[in-house]
Amino acid sequence: MSKWMWRTFGQEFGPVDLAELRKLIDAGTLGPEDDVQRAGSSHWQTVATVPELKTSSPSPPVGNPADAVKSTSPPTARMRPDSDRSTGQSAPQPEKQESVSPPTNTSEPPEPKARAKPASPRIRNPTYSRRSGFDFKRFLAVVGIVLLVAAGGAGGWYYFTRPVLLPLAGHKHRVISAAYGPDGRWMATAGGDKVVCLRSADSGTLLHKLEGHTAPISGLGFSPDGWRIISGSQDKSAKVWDREKGIEVFTLNGHKKRVDGVAFSPDGSLIATGSWDKSVRIWNASTGDLIREFETNSVNCLRFSPDGQSIATGGWDWTARIYDVETGEMAMAFVGHSHGIFSIAFRPDGQQVVTASQDGTVRLWDVRTGNQITVLNGHSEAACFAVFTPDGSTVISGGKDQLIRIWDPATGIAKKTLVAHNGDVRCVACSPNGRNIVSGGGHGTAFLWKRFLP
């Protein structure tokens, strides 16, 4: 049976079948001037014009009330009783019929029945009713949901991007050296307890302890491919370790005093070591064979230049130097510190070096001219370490005043100071992405500073 839509007083309802529609007409809910629409049609028409819904007007009874006439329209619902104007009796409502004959007496037209508006509000079908006007409650609900989602997103963003300070366990004595792997997945710390702690760079979780040195470890470095680690020790040796297996690959012997400076060349083919015995040695990184050796002053720190053609050293004679790797000849000397130099590093473009000294200053030098560019004053005690960030825009330093300072080298102003160590800060390293810092110092303390750099 086909379904119908209907509307009255501006509201739409449905769908209903024909029998239910007739009941609505009988109940007075739906009048002749209201509209209906067959399912599947887009055309609305009044009830009075629909053949299936037409009913004949009841005629006043003439004589026997049983002679009431029938409508010529198709079967409709039972008609409401109407008062007989001449006799005062009620005429019975005819039953549904397929067809009826026209009325036999039309001497007096029937009075139209007044259709009253239902006293109680109709129950509208929530699926098909058409809402009109502004729904303030719905608007408030939507606004509330939007604000809730926005607040949740902001909270999630803050949670995953906020600065986080993670203590790094594993050392029993002061931490002297730290380094990041080139891919940013690994980092290593080492110090007075004679072990190298290999860690996850993301969480600081301890993965391996590399044991073999017999004295404190003063220097650390990763190979360019990240698979090997080199460590220099006060036991006069340097060792190369397999990062994945956590085992020693070979030991570099030959220095007569402690080895504080160690580094892989940028192409990974060479290893350089510097010692308090006033020498720098160049080794084959694959075999551990000595290639050349040249004299300098006592070496506290050592770095390859970004192009691998030079080596920078710093020592107790208050002077930083640059040597040619091939010839061992000194190419430049930087003079200006008033005490020993603990740390030296190249800017990533190779045009500047930064040094940290026991005199409490951090200084920047021009590699081409040897001139001092900037003095960064801020540490109240010895500056133990300084390094450029990977983009070269920032300098990070740590000192015996227990502070880590973040510097703008262009202005010489400290942009930020980090406080967490309860002892001197002996080493600092910056992650390859320039966002995280690892630091180590007295009392075996080491920290991973996540997202502390802009």
Q: From its phi and psi, is residue 318 left (phi > 0), alpha (psi between -120 and 50) or beta?
A: left
pLDDT value for 111 = 57
Domain match, 55 and 189 both: no
Domain that holds residue 23: 3-77
Last residue of a domain, one of 77, 102, 137: 77
Mean pLDDT over residues 414-421, rounded?
Answer: 95
Last residue of a domain, one of 23, 50, 77: 77
Specify the higher pLDDT residue, 168 or 69: 168
Task: Please name the amino acid found at residue 452.
Answer: F
Mean pLDDT value across the chain: 85
Residue 371 pLDDT > 90, yes or no?
Answer: yes
We report the CATH number of the domain holding residue 438 as 2.130.10.10
| Distance, CA of 219 to CA of 324 (rounded, Å) | 21
Distances (CA, A) of 259 to 214, 227, 268, 288, 442: 13, 22, 20, 16, 20
- Residues 72 and 102: beta-carbon distance below 8 Å: yes
pLDDT value for 291 = 97
With pLDDT > 70 as the criterion, what percentage of the chain qualifies?
A: 81
Mean pLDDT over residues 257-268, rounded?
Answer: 97
Place of tokens 């029945």: 113
Residue 103 pLDDT > 90, yes or no?
Answer: no
In this structure, is residue 432 part of a structural domain?
A: yes
Task: Note the Cα 188 to chain centre separation in Å.
Answer: 26
Query: What is the DSSP secondary structure assignment for residue 102, as one 8-state letter?
Result: P
pLDDT digits (tens, 9 = 90+) for 198-212: 999 999 999 999 999
In this structure, is residue 368 part of a structural domain?
A: yes
| Distance, CA of 190 to CA of 168 (rounded, Å) | 12
Last residue of a domain, one of 39, 60, 77: 77
pLDDT value for 378 = 93
In this structure, is residue 109 part of a structural domain?
A: no
Place of tokens 């995280």: 436
Q: What is the phi/psi pair of residue 178, to 5°? A: -145, 150
In this structure, is residue 18 part of a structural domain?
A: yes
Q: What is the phi/psi pair of residue 111, to 5°? A: -75, 135
Mean pLDDT over residues 304-324, rounded?
Answer: 97
Q: How confident is the model at residue 11 (pLDDT cuts 50, 70, 90)?
A: confident
Domain match, 66 and 176 both: no
Mean pLDDT over residues 121-134, rounded?
Answer: 52
pLDDT value for 114 = 53
Task: Note the Cα 386 to chain centre separation in Å.
Answer: 30
Q: Work out how many domains the chain is built from and give that number.
A: 2
Encode 388-407 in three state secondary structure: ECCCCCCEEEEECCCEEEEE
In this structure, is residue 125 part of a structural domain?
A: no
pLDDT value for 42 = 78
In this structure, is residue 367 part of a structural domain?
A: yes
In this structure, is residue 118 part of a structural domain?
A: no
pTM surpassing 0.85? no
In this structure, is residue 195 part of a structural domain?
A: yes
pLDDT value for 88 = 43
The length of the chain in residues reads: 454
| Distance, CA of 314 to CA of 51 (rounded, Å) | 107
Q: Could you tell me which residues come within 8 angstroms of residue 311 by beta carbon, excluding any fewer than 6 positions away? A: 263, 272, 280, 302, 303, 304, 305, 322, 323, 325
Domain match, 67 and 194 both: no
pLDDT value for 80 = 43
Task: Please name the amino acid found at residue 348.
Answer: P
| Distance, CA of 116 to CA of 130 (rounded, Å) | 23
Mean pLDDT over residues 41-49, rounded?
Answer: 82
| Distance, CA of 355 to CA of 357 (rounded, Å) | 7
